[in-house]
Structure 1
Amino acid sequence: MSFKDIFGHKEELKLLQDNLRNKKLSSAYLFLGPEQIGKKLVALNFAKALNCLETSGGPCDKCPPCKKIDANNFPDIFVLEPMMAGSTIGIDKIRQIKKDASLKPYEGRYKVFIIDRACAMSHESQNAILKILEEPGDNNLFILITSSLHRILPTVSSRCRIVRFKAGPRGKLEEYLITRGRIKKEEALLIAAFSGGRIGEAIDLEDSDFFNKKNAVIKRMLESLRKPVSKDMFREWALLERPLLRKDMEVVLSWFRDIYIWKITKNSALFFNMDISKNIIKSADNFSLSELENIMKRIITLDFHLTCNANQKLVTDVFLSELGRLRGEEVCMK
């Protein structure tokens, strides 16, 4: 994949190409932006461009270095990331980077070290990478990728050239998904809306049983809302892996948001869940605007706590208790 094949990020790619053409490369870059918008893909293609045997300012995808990088078989590209969600990048990994950076490139012009989800580095690890960035050595280039600048030590970020990424326009993403030819236009519209312009999220949804899973989440929620809130309500939420729980909450939030939109505008064309618009319109009479606002605020608060690695069972219990109080019920979560 060359730069021109990457969805969006035209300004960011032009900046990197200009740095390369004008030989004004930084020894360290920090790619900042929302998750799943293609930052890692850009980093890998930038690494290809740095080692490409052509001089076009971007990877040719044909020379031996480009082909080896695509095949994950190039000895001068190093990708470091947490082993699993919620885990940290420990000091031992950074020590290995220091060792690798002390050696000359094996085949390419540059050794490129990509640290994905760099905010997962421990405080000790960030201080260790800082020492490397202060004296990066010749022909070494570092790319830190994060969605959260405040979780990167200022001393580290100040050593990097920050490149800010943003999600693509929903309409452009919808067009891109249609041109891929794997889903129908109506499905592309829904996926573009749910992904929030994040290309990685959109492709994940495209490859999954998204619509059935989404509507199953909404069905469970509707069934639960017909009964008093209890300890057993959404019990599986507390047991889900955190990323899956956040996806469920995103679906639930979209449903309440669509009801809110209908009550204000009476325009179903603005729905996220256009495939179940009749259900949304029918449900609108069951909620006042203030109830919807309070529920949505609590869902957003729950999601925020989940992103901050709060105790999942605790914050879910608190959410259910607050939901019960909004409905005039007392909820025992023991």
Structure 2
Amino acid sequence: MHPEPSETNQGPPPSSLPLSELIYIVQAGRIPNALLFYGPRGSGKQQAALFFAQACNCRADNDRPCNICASCKKISAGMHPDMIFLGPAENKKMITISQIRDMGGIIASRTNEAAFRMVCILHADLMNPQAQNALLKMLEEPPGRTFFILAAEQTTPLLPTILSRCRRIDFQALADHEIKKLLCTQYGLDPGTAHILTGTAGSDIDQALRLSGLDKEGTNWKMLRPWLIKEICLFLTAPQHQSAFKSLDLSRLLSARPEYVHDAMAVIRTVFRDFCILKYMPDKIVNLDFLSTFKDISVMHSYSRMLTWMTLFHETEKRLESNSGTRLTLDRFFLSLSLFK
């Protein structure tokens, strides 16, 4: 039996996530109108939301999703018509009131087939004040058999009235070995690929899944990574008079696909990190398939120069995070590298 609501592409998330509390909610038979999933980026909040939606709608009489019934499969595949995900529009920094109103129009009608409809607002802390006030009205009088999940990295931007209407569940960043185990055991990736993905994404499980190709909307990482590493290596070994031209060309290619820049920077970070630790811990580098090439390059450059590369990289990351122009920032980064070769 499914629980009753209270009056007020992917498999299951890792066991370290706060699933026990979500399972308890299902067992108790009272689904809150709104839950706040609070934690750092990549801590598995979206996977947990899917898990909870599956558990609430699973057609098997279990507290956990069976992953076999039609409902579980549709939710896992992102094809269920009653599972609504909302976040900032493409190339936008905020969730606007128009997006909230559009979502309100959708949930004003009956569910298509779910026992419980889910509205998951990703990056809920990026809602502008007008959007939050519009959402507040829905939280106060939610449609029947509908619950909201607000996934946020910060609570300060959220109105106290919204926070007071949410049951908060805290998430912690996952350790590297947990993500690696997840990729191998639950997603069937080989250990070598899982090692590279984990080293690239760090504790960000969302990015690891996106890079893996399991997320159909994600970056084509299998093509981006080797191409980008080869380009970086060619750039670092090019004669001085050619470096400036190569740097600007690489900047042009990357900035032409702004949706790939975040993942591209993650790959570049692993390259410079590998150079810094290669001398002391060659078995710990991320890009083991480029070990021979990296060894050749490390012979050509001093260790202090490699540390300078890493410093320039971190400065560039900060500039990109502060919303500096992508093309100009990448031009500056690669041109600076060409001066320290």
Query: Which category describes the TM-score, using the shorter chain as reference length?
Result: 0.7 to 0.9
Distance 1:280 1:131, change over 3 A: same
* Matched residue count: 321
**How many Å apart are 1:160 and its aligned residue?**
2.8
**Could you tell me the percent identity over the aligned residues?**
26
Query: Which residue of 267, 271, 285 corresponds with 1:255?
Result: 271
Distance 1:48 1:211, change over 3 A: closer
Instruction: State the 1:130 CA deviation.
Output: 3.0
CA contact (8 A) 1:101 1:136 kept: no
**1:187/1:138 Cα in 2 relative to 1: closer, same or farther (>3 Å)?**
closer
Q: How does 1:224-303 map to 2 (within 5 A)?
A: 224-225=235-236, 226=238, 227-228=240-241, 229-230=243-244, 233-238=247-252, 239-263=255-279, 266-303=280-317
Judged with a 3 Å threshold, the aligned counterparts in structure 2 of structure 1 residues 283 and 98 are, in CA distance, closer, same or farther, namely same
Worse-matched range after superposition: 283-292 or 99-108: 99-108
1:309 to 310, 323, 328: 323
Shift of 1:143: 0.7
Instruction: Structure 1: give runs of 5+ residues left out of the alignment.
Output: 328-334
RMSD (CA atoms): 3.6
Closer/same/farther in 2, CA of residues 149 and 9 from structure 1, 3 Å limit: farther
Q: Is 2:230 the counterpart of 1:222?
A: no
| 1:1-334 superposed matches below 5 A | 6-23=12-29, 25-35=31-41, 38-61=44-67, 65-66=71-72, 69=75, 76-86=82-92, 88-101=94-107, 108-136=114-142, 139-146=145-152, 148-149=153-154, 152-155=157-160, 156-179=162-185, 184-207=190-213, 210=221, 213-225=224-236, 226=238, 227-228=240-241, 229-230=243-244, 233-238=247-252, 239-263=255-279, 266-320=280-334, 322-323=336-337, 326=340
1:153 match: secondary structure: coil
SS, match of residue 230 in structure 1: helix
CA distance, structure 2, for counterparts of residue 289 and residue 150 of structure 1:
42
Change (3 A) 1:176 1:99: closer
Residue 37 of structure 1: how far off its partner (Å):
5.4
Residue 216 of structure 1: how far off its partner (Å)? 2.8
1:183 and 1:56 map into 2 onto residues whose CA distance is: 28
From the superposition, tell whether residues 258 and 158 of structure 1 become closer, same or farther in structure 2 (CA, over 3 Å). Answer: farther
SS at match of 2:37: strand
TM-score, normalised on structure 2?
Answer: 0.76
SS at the partner of 1:124?
Answer: helix
Residues 13 and 47, structure 2, Cα contact 8 Å, conserved in 1: no
Alpha-carbon contact 1:177-1:188 (below 8 Å) kept: yes
